[in-house]
Amino acid sequence: MKLVKEINFQLDEIDTVCERLLSLIEQVEVVLLEGEMGAGKTTFMSHLVHALGSKDHVTSPTYSLVNKYLLEDTSKEKNTIYHLDLFRLKSLEEVIDIGIEDILYGEQFVFIEWPALLMPYYKKMKVLQLKFKKTNTYSRNITIFMNE
């Protein structure tokens, strides 16, 4: 993975950060969201889903494992967002059981929190990796990587 950029921001600037990342997100097949619990991955996703054009209510997929959001503009090639949280899963077999191959190889936006179990898949895909770090109560850092 190649370092693309690093962004430090205050939480009240999260919408601007999402807008800045849209062009990168549209270039890849999957976006990996990494960082400790409380680093802001799901909060970021709630803003990003709206920036991509969905009016759906965003919730954490920690217990549902997969959340699906529809974009308002259905004329675009990618008109669905999948947001996965693999934290509770223990094996690649469990991930396959939730239908990951259909999700990864379809025409939609795919965002995965706690993505380590799927590392064998990413080698064949164009991937954007966002590493979140909480720098204090109201600020975050995102380090952005992309494979070549």
Give the residue from 111, 101, 86 showing the smallest Cα distance to 22: 111
CA dihedral sign of residues 67, 88, 24, 124 = negative
The answer to whether residue 147 is domain-embedded is no
pTM: 0.92
The answer to whether residue 145 is domain-embedded is no
Provide the 8-state DSSP code for 65.
Answer: S
- Paired with 110 in beta bridges are 82
Per-residue pLDDT for the chain (148 aa), expressed as one digit of tens each? Answer: 899 999 999 999 999 999 999 999 999 999 999 999 889 898 999 999 999 999 999 888 877 899 999 998 777 778 899 999 999 899 989 988 988 888 988 889 999 999 999 888 888 899 999 999 999 999 999 999 999 7
Q: How many domains would you assign to the chain? A: 1
The answer to whether residue 74 is domain-embedded is yes
3-state secondary structure of 81: strand
Residue 130 tokens read as 């966002």
Residue 68 sits in a domain whose CATH number is: 3.40.50.300
- Please give the residue range of the domain that contains residue 106: 21-132
